[in-house]
Amino acid sequence: MGMFLALSGVIGKSKEEVANALAAYAKSAGGGLEAAVLTVDISNCCIIDEDNGNTTVLYPNGYMEWDKSSKFISATLNAAVFSFHIHDGDLWMYILYANGETVDMFNPLPDYWDEVEDEEMESFKGNATVVAKYVPGLSPQNIEKYLVRWVYGDPNTKPTPMMNLIAE
């Protein structure tokens, strides 16, 4: 089994603001969000943390609403929010929302699940200039090398340390 990660990256908003918005989303979907003290053996939890004025939400394993949650947080907080997903270690992808609207998307293998039309394939190419517009201090040159299309199963088109973008 590979790695499945889903998270929201919220630009310029505090942990408290994001937690409140996420709690409102959970309530609107018939759920809830509450603070808890957890041990390392509990993996089915939502983790929210803040660093340098930006907040990350790591969703529980199996949570499938990461895009809807990210869009809701973006609209509620009038913020730029990334919805990131790493799928089975095969690919990583994002949708960038600004004020609840999709402004950019990237997937190196948009036809991974099904065949897609050329227009949809093009919509997932990602745009480093757009991303840099919403992330203070980021230049397009710092990320454009990561926004490349891969050929599924071809190790020559898949950058080897896929996690570099997350680490930078």
pLDDT at 3 exceeding the cut of 70? no
Q: Which residue has the higher pLDDT, 71 or 44?
A: 71
Ordered by start, the domain boundaries in the chain are 5-167
Task: Look at the alpha carbons of 140, 53, 162, 67 in this order and tell me if their dihedral is positive or negative.
Answer: negative
Q: Show Cβ contacts of residue 55 under 8 Å, excluding neighbours closer than 6 positions.
A: 9, 10, 13, 14, 15, 17, 18, 48, 49
Cβ–Cβ < 8 Å for 67, 95: yes
pLDDT of residue 63: 81
pLDDT band at 1 (very low <50, low <70, confident <90, very high): low
Cβ–Cβ < 8 Å for 59, 69: yes
- Three-class secondary structure assignment of 82-140: EEEEEECCCEEEEEEEECCEEEEEECCCCCCCCCCCHHHHHHCECCHHHHHHHCCCCCH
pLDDT of residue 134: 97
pLDDT of residue 115: 72
User: 117: burial class by Cβ within 10 Å (0-12, 13-18, 19+)?
Assistant: exposed
pLDDT at 6 exceeding the cut of 60? yes
